Amino acid sequence: MLPLLTVRSYLASSSLAKMKRILIVVGLLAVLGLAYVHWVLPGKVEASMNIVLPHQAYTISDDARRLHESMFVVDLHSDSLLWKRDLTKESSIGHMDVPRLKAGNVALQVFSATTKSPANLNYSSNTSGSDDITLLALASMWPPRTWLSLYERAAYQLDKLHAVAQDSDLVVIKSKQDLENLIERRAKGELAIGGLYLIEGAHPLEGNIENLDRLFEQGLRIIGLTHFFDNELGGSLHGTSGEGLNNFGQSVIRRANELNLIIDVAHASPAMVEDVLALSSAPVILSHGGLKGICDTERNLSDVLMKKFASNGGLIGIGYWDAAVCDASPEGIVRSIRYAIELLGVDHVALGSDYDGTVHAPFDTSELSVLTEVMLQSGFSEEEMRKVMGENAKHFLLENLPGHVL
């Protein structure tokens, strides 16, 4: 018979061993959970949001292919920097990366930074009281400085763009001179791609005008004023107030003009668009959207306001998703482009895909020549096609970017 002390010692050691095994299992599960959240979950989330609609392979004629390959193609809006994906490598997820930009002959892509997005997102009425980007930043393991600061989220996504440029044929465009250099390289047959940086909504300024200068110094060249909620500048098209520019918003417009920052009124309330057109000394863009006359949704502004926008030298990027064009097919997009040309004039129409912006698109950027094919079939002139596919945007940027930035 074992002594009582020996039995107690055995039981104690046995319990300790079991506890250690339990802690090891719990630790392994925690590590696996973190690995899943870090490496798997962000991709699954994006794959469920940035969808290419199922379709048969598009047939592109030799004439359309040759024409498309000769174009300087520009897309005024994508949200690809938001996601945990290496944009230097081709992916089966989402709509855009550098290899697919090359395949689609895109010469210049505007990269947007989304920094805050309310829960239960809709086009009619959102408040600023919630934010899904915080969860995405945590799951994607963005730096801690980004967890509570919208400014830092914007700066971090700009850092991501510079990192893509270091590891690929993409070059960050900061000035008219940079764009001229890109145009010259493309004319020589190089597949260099320009990347312009935009913030989607000016809430990363956090109510401080000095943050506009800080972001400009880092490479910001297009400033969206609002996104899905009212912010420190005034009212969103999808907010609750319907307000125009407030005093801080007016100061942002004036400072943006001084810096030669291009102003983007996508998602701005009609009253804010009116105020911007009255105040800005430079023409503005609507980087991604549509026209209410052909697609009557809450996402689009009235034709009357868009005609005023165009008469002030504005440029609209026609989107590729249902709320912008109603018919999210190549043919539907081209019909919206034709409508915009007839309403606003061909010089005011461009492309604004909203790729990787939680939209369902009929093609990814590698398949972009399908738009050239459909426009060719629809009787567009070569001049119209070249202007819409990129010449208008190129001309606008050459006219409005800073001349030279060190």
Q: Which domains does the chain have, with CATH numbers?
A: 50-400 (3.20.20.140)
Whose tokens are 């001309």? That residue is 395
Residue spans of alpha helices (H) in 96-143:
98-103, 133-139
Residue 212 vs residues 146, 217, 256, 261: alpha-carbon distances, Å: 17, 9, 8, 10
pLDDT at 41: 63
Which stretches in the chain have pLDDT values below 50? 31-35
pLDDT at 16: 66
For residue 54, count CB atoms less than 10 angstroms from its CB and return exposed for 0-12, middle for 13-18, buried for 19 or more.
exposed
Q: Which two tokens stand for residue 24?
A: 């090891």
Whose tokens are 């609002």? That residue is 226
Residue spans of alpha helices (H) in 229-294:
247-259, 270-279
Sign of torsion, CA 112 47 289 313?
A: positive
Of 72, 230, 270, 220, the C-alpha closest to 211 is 220
pLDDT at 10: 60
- The whole-model pTM stands at 0.91
pLDDT at 217: 97
* Amino acid code (one letter) for 6: T
Q: Which two tokens stand for residue 405?
A: 């930035």
Q: Are 350 and 391 in contact (CB under 8 A)?
A: no
Please state whether beta strands 170-172 and 106-113 pair in parallel, antiparallel, or not at all (unpaired): unpaired
Residue 166 vs residues 171, 172, 195: alpha-carbon distances, Å: 8, 10, 12
C-alpha 356/C-alpha 121 separation (Å) is 16
C-alpha 88/C-alpha 98 separation (Å) is 5
pLDDT at 31: 46
| Coil vs helix vs strand at 360 | strand
Please count the other Cβ atoms lying within 10 Å of the Cβ belonging to residue 11.
10
Of 305, 320, 395, the C-alpha closest to 364 is 320
CA dihedral of 277, 220, 210, 282, whole degrees rounded to 10: -20
pLDDT at 5: 58
Q: Are 229 and 219 in contact (CB under 8 A)?
A: no
Sign of torsion, CA 359 391 345 377?
A: negative
C-alpha 100/C-alpha 87 separation (Å) is 9
| Coil vs helix vs strand at 285 | strand
Q: Are 265 and 272 in contact (CB under 8 A)?
A: yes
C-alpha 279/C-alpha 288 separation (Å) is 22
Task: Show Cβ contacts of residue 77 under 8 Å, excluding neighbours closer than 6 positions.
Answer: 110, 112, 198, 266, 287, 288, 317, 319, 352, 353, 354, 355, 357
pLDDT at 44: 84
Element (H, E) at 394: helix 392-400
